[in-house]
Structure 1
Amino acid sequence: MKDKDRRKAQKPAGKSGFGEKTAAAKRPSARGPVQPRRQGEAGHPPARAEQAEKRAETVEKVFLALREGARPAERVPVILETGGSESFRLIDSGNGEKLEQYGPYRIVRPEAQALWPKSLPEHVWQKADAIFTGDTDEDGMGRWRFPREALGETWPLSLLGVDFLGRFTAFRHVGVFPEQLAHWRWMKDEIDRAGRPLKVLNLFGYTGVASLVAAAAGAEVTHVDASKKAIGWARENQALSRLDRAPIRWICDDAMKFVQREVRRGSRYDIILTDPPKFGRGTNGEVWHLFEHLPLMLDQCREILAPRARGLVLTAYSIRASFYSMHELMRETMRGRGGVVESGELVIREAGLDGETPGRALSTSLFSRWVPE
């Protein structure tokens, strides 16, 4: 299917599986979606190419039958909060921007939900190493300005013991969404206490940080993303984390088609992470619209959950919806499986310049998570 992401054709960026997190094609952004073939490209006559593109653009909305059985219990609202870590903290936010620390660099990016005034004086913000300028939309294009000195495109980061590369992308994302730490810590705990190797499916997996966290904890991981550039970036991160021998399958594919094939194969997973874009394209120009396709995606994910599954996680970025919409969809999807559906928002707490001064909580995304108990 979101990561989701959430997100584009130049550099890997925000979250993906059908390509990018938004129509700017991205969950995810500089995820590098595969663009539909242009008219007349690769030897195809313009008319044939146009017909093929129109077929790819067709959106077929699927209405699912009501499942039988009782709906799972519920916990709402649930706020999953992320504070500082070894490589990240939210220093301050306000006036439509956020000031963050990523490893050695202090960066400024647009943040529409930072409606309040800044806490720290302007001279602190002006000392940032990198500032994103341009389109302030979640996945709008722009460029980075480096006020102090020119910086390289990538730099090393580490979260939960996993090393990976940060990257200044053209879509303001930097290769990781640290608010997802709340889900990753939960996943790592489940893998640690399972007493058996768990199988994890990471849909719209972007740069692979979640996949590497799962693999480092001992899981067998299947990572799916429609962007070749995102997959390449994820493999770089795998090498950087010294997890070359870890059991990870890197699959560049359309997320929906992959899941439907897994249903036919009878495959089963213990944990499924899905971080879909609100709009994107798959490897062959397949169109993804969150509100049209999400119900079927979740339905198919349920079909490949193992009998002793530990959880199904859905995250969504940059959508005009309530977490309650996803909450009720998840409860309907999981009818008859028992357990609990907990839904709410992922937030990041400001930590100040010293990393130890709690401030305001910045909401980043919506989530819904089914767990067996």
Structure 2
Amino acid sequence: MAIQNKLQFTYLILTSPEWKDYELVDSGNGWKLERFGQYLLVRPEAEAVWAPALPENKWAAAHARFVPTPEENGGHWQHHKPIPERWIMHYKNLSFFIQTTASRHVGVFPEQACQWDWIAEQITKAGRSARVLNLFGYTGLASLAAAQSGAQVTHVDASRKVINWARENQTLSGLETAPIRWILDDAIKFVQREGRRGVKYDGLILDPPKFGRGPKGEVWEFFRLLPNLLDACKKVLSPNPLFVVLTAYAVKASALTLHYALQEMLTQSDGEWSFGEVALMEKSAGRFLSMAIFARWSRFKSPESRTQEGGIRT
């Protein structure tokens, strides 16, 4: 189905087919069965409204399952087979730790690998030194992908634990000397200070949660504060930026919402706009499991975008 309009954009369903250490084995009935390295984990997944493709005995072979409780992000892991406290995984030249934490998250969002590749591509295409700001940076894989491609990166997160985790991933990836600033701070406060200082960035990576708290108890709410964040980000963009990417999880919004929000912030007249969904593809049945929505802009147009005014592609 084509989108009939005169805007220069493409609707994308992005997947990450180059994983070797990860796969979505199966999904259904509100769960997903995943392989992280040699270990099988079962985690809740509201998007998986269909029936599993594999029989129950395949699911029963999982090493651990996260059992949620009614409170927000509540729950615990049930371990069915021996599993280390943490283990190492790889994506291309990146290495990082995985572990079953107090939440359902394990230290990596595998569906984001396509965005790491895209970020690296934008920096490589620039052929010059680039400064990149990664807000809500989690365990640092987008930051490491940018640094590995030659960027100077500022990584901001409100959790000291995940920043320490990200620094361990930096060492694992052999990037100890890469120019990365690790900042423990509230995202909006940090960007506002950077704006007052006159600091500029060529690339922005924005991955805000639905709800969160800063290191001093600052409250983040996606719909209430996203306009404030984007307004602050607009003031730290360099005169000739390279890219901006915005991702959102578990919010009642469409990718089109993110697209128009970025358009208000980024008044560039040229370049390539795209928005859509970030998805995982099952090994069992080949179904797409949508994980997040995104919108992004690049200074560099891909060859296919030069010949189309709108459309959907995967």
Query: TM-score of the superposition, structure 1-length normalised?
Result: 0.75
Over 3 Å counting, the alpha-carbon distance change for 1:124 and 1:136 in structure 2 is farther
Q: 8 Å contact 2:123–2:149 — kept in the other structure?
A: yes
In the alignment, residue 289 of structure 2 is paired with which amino acid? L
* 2:141 equivalent among 209, 231, 256: 209
Q: Which runs of structure 2 are paired with 1:127-206 in the superposition (5 Å)?
A: 127-135=61-69, 140-149=73-82, 151-206=83-138
Q: 8 Å contact 1:330–1:341 — kept in the other structure?
A: no
Q: What CA deviation, in whole Å up to 9, does each residue of 1:4-57 have, x standing for no partner?
A: xxxxxxxxxxxxxxxxxxxxxxxxxxxxxxxxxxxxxxxxxxxxxxxxxxxxxx
Q: Which has the higher strand share?
A: 2
Give 1:172 shift: 0.7
Please state if 1:252 is matched with 2:179.
no
* 2:243 equivalent among 300, 311, 331: 311
In the alignment, residue 100 of structure 1 is paired with which amino acid? E
Over 3 Å counting, the alpha-carbon distance change for 1:273 and 1:295 in structure 2 is same
Q: What CA deviation, in whole Å up to 9, does each residue of 1:139-170 have, x standing for no partner?
A: 62222122122x22211011131111001012
Q: Where does structure 1 lack aligned partners over 5 or more consecutive residues?
A: 1-71, 353-357
Q: 8 Å contact 1:82–1:348 — kept in the other structure?
A: yes
Q: 8 Å contact 2:116–2:141 — kept in the other structure?
A: no
Partner Cα distance (2:184, 2:8) in 1: 35
Give 1:84 shift: 5.3
Match of 2:25 in 1: 91
Q: What CA deviation, in whole Å up to 9, does each residue of 1:232-258 have, x standing for no partner?
A: 111111122221111110000111011
Give 1:77 shift: 2.5
Partner Cα distance (1:136, 1:190) in 2: 41
Partner Cα distance (2:271, 2:206) in 1: 19
Please state if 1:361 is matched with 2:295.
no
SS in 2 for 1:82: coil
SS in 2 for 1:277: coil
Moved more, 333-342 or 127-136: 333-342
Query: TM-score of the superposition, structure 2-length normalised?
Result: 0.89
SS in 1 for 2:169: helix
Q: Which runs of structure 2 are paired with 1:58-137 in the superposition (5 Å)?
A: 73-83=7-17, 85-135=19-69
Q: 8 Å contact 1:280–1:289 — kept in the other structure?
A: yes
Match of 1:291 in 2: 223
Give 1:136 shift: 7.3
Match of 1:4 in 2: none
RMSD: 1.8
Percent of aligned pairs with the same amino acid: 48
List, as ranges, runs of 4+ consecutive aligned residues in structure 1 with deviation greater than 6 Å. none
SS in 2 for 1:124: helix
Partner Cα distance (2:44, 2:96) in 1: 24
Partner Cα distance (2:246, 2:125) in 1: 22
SS in 2 for 1:193: helix
